[in-house]
């Protein structure tokens, strides 16, 4: 009832739970497949962290998760962060695709 006897969960586990929860909601409400919904959920969490004081620490935790639990999304998420922060200019076609994907 109060979590006694349960294994202690760290911040990485809580972040993974948040990503999974958001992915479930995105898949259910936007009709995205689970893979795309997970990618979008990770981007959503990173966007939220970018606007918070000390958000860099959370972003580092998400990066660690990307390297261990969500490896299949690592390149796409790094590309998204570089694009969304203005560090990666894209061709007009790629820009349109990125905007469509995140609409």
Tens digit of each residue's pLDDT (9 = 90 or more) over 28-79:
999 999 999 999 999 999 999 999 998 999 999 999 999 999 999 999 999 9
Report which DSSP code applies to 72.
Answer: G
The 10 Å Cβ neighbour count of residue 91 is 8
3-state secondary structure of 7: coil
Tens digit of each residue's pLDDT (9 = 90 or more) over 7-25:
656 767 889 999 999 999 9
- Give the pair of three-digit tokens for residue 6: 């349960």
Cα separation of 22 and 25, whole Å?
5
């Amino acid at each position: 009832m109060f979590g006694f006897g349960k294994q202690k969960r760290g911040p990485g586990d809580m972040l993974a739970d948040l990503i999974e929860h958001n992915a479930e909601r995105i898949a259910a409400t936007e009709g995205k497949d689970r893979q795309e919904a997970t990618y979008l959920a990770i981007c959503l969490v990173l966007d939220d962290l970018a606007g918070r004081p000390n958000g860099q620490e959370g972003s580092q935790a998400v990066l660690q998760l990307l390297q261990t639990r969500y490896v299949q999304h690592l390149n796409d998420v790094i590309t998204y962060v570089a694009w969304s922060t203005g560090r990666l200019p894209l061709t007009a076609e790629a820009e349109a695709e990125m905007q469509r994907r995140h609409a």
